[in-house]
Amino acid sequence: MEGPMAGAEALFRERAERHMLRFGGRFVPFVPVRATGSFVYDAAGRKVLDFTSGQMSAILGHAHPEIADVIGHAARTLDHLFSSMLSPPVVDLAEALAAQVPGLPKVLLLSTGGEANEAAIKIAKLVTGGWEVVGFAQSWHGMTGGAAAATYKAGRRGYGPPAVGSFAIPAPLSFRPRFGGVDWRAELDDSFALIDRQSSGNLAAFIAEPILSSGGIIELPEGYLAALKRKCEERGMKLILDEAQTGLGRTGTMFAFERDGVTPDLLVLSKTLGAGLPLAAVLTTREIGLECDARDFLFYTTHANDPLPAAVGCKVVEIVLRDRLAARAAAMGAKLKAGLRTLQAEHSWIGDVRGRGLLLGLEFIDEAAGRRRSAAELSDAVTDRALELGLSANIVRAGSSGGVMRIAPPLTVSEEEIALGLALLGQAMREVG
């Protein structure tokens, strides 16, 4: 890039460096000014294929015309209210979500996944009377108090002690099992035996992602959720499932837990529910709702039950169901996964391809003979080169899962866009390798 455009970009970067506080990793060297469908564009018109759906959220692509119409109408008519003043879009969305999970008819609408996980944890503590919360050692559930205490993937150092009663167990990963010859059932039994020894008898909840995304696309094996639910029931704990990234069709079913036939006590949705706008929800049972009322549950926030994002959520649910996007995610995900496995066969330093639907991961390995770079260095280099070529894929750069590339295109992605993404990723791998 040369001339005035280059000068404007340099000035923008200088202003950003002067004023923007880093909050995790570095900012990418691409400055988007507009986005549509599966692409984002800079001021010079250069386009980048977005294989992360923004922050894993834009499941309908960018600037979806129906979503834009809903936002415009809501902005002109009913955008924000006193939180206790219920509006039709709020009740409509609660009803639409409850219809998808009949066992969880009570709904609280919030803004972010971290906020919703915070609320779910507080509910579990309130209704059980306990305060101990167990999660996975590779988890990411948010950056606020209780959610951060249940996040083990990164960010635990430098902020003082987390909430009392925070425990972690390892999530099962068949590609890198913790102990050879020990299956996930034995590992789960051993983990809970250790939890029982550490617990003071006040276990309140287990919080889990069905597929740990930031943890490195770790998919819980079939049967695991059912076994985990039994462990919770035996101890009077509530099972919280965080489906911020897996909810609303991304894994090939409306919710990831449907594959296992297990309904949690509390279900958390965010990211995908707003298709890019800040919207989250906590769903729970009628019994837990009644207990919350009896015990004066308090989680009052400025943007609880806001009508504008609720109207968007209603349209998102409508489109996902109407256009059968869960089935589309399964079909498109199968094509994408096949292409990634072809790349794996070409490069010895790609150790594993995993995930479900359109939430997939590539794990780079540093065991390949003759390699002088670590898996994290290889994966970072591939990601950086892919962006230069016109593909935005996401490397988990922080914490314990560096070296795993997350790929999550919009559910509206076309076959041609999948082919383009695979071609750009393949080129980046060849050039880096």
Which residues are marked as active site? 140, 209, 242, 245, 271, 406
DSSP state, 137? Answer: T
CA-based nearest residue to 218, from 208, 230, 228: 208
Rounded to a whole number, what is the distance in angstroms from the first to the last CA of the chain? 26
Which single residue is written with the structure tokens 């906590």? 282
Separation between Cα atoms, residue 254 and residue 147, nearest integer Å: 24
Residues, the chain? 433
At 426, list the tokens.
């393949």
E strands along 176-300, which residues? 203-208, 211-212, 218-219, 238-242, 266-269, 280-284
For residue 120, how many other CB atoms are within 10 A of its CB? 29
Quote the crossing angle between the two packed helices 307-322 and 325-346, to the nearest 10°: 70
Taking CA 248 as the corner, what is the angle to CA 242 and CA 254, rounded to the nearest 5 degrees?
Answer: 100
Separation between Cα atoms, residue 264 and residue 240, nearest integer Å: 6
Taking CA 229 as the corner, what is the angle to CA 264 and CA 172, rounded to the nearest 5 degrees?
Answer: 105
Separation between Cα atoms, residue 238 and residue 259, nearest integer Å: 20
The answer to whether 239 and 201 have CB atoms below 8 angstroms apart is no
At 338, list the tokens.
């096949």
Pairing of strands 166-169, 203-208: unpaired
Nearest 5°: phi and psi at 296? 60, 55
Strand-pairing partners, residue 167, are 134
The answer to whether 92 and 81 have CB atoms below 8 angstroms apart is no
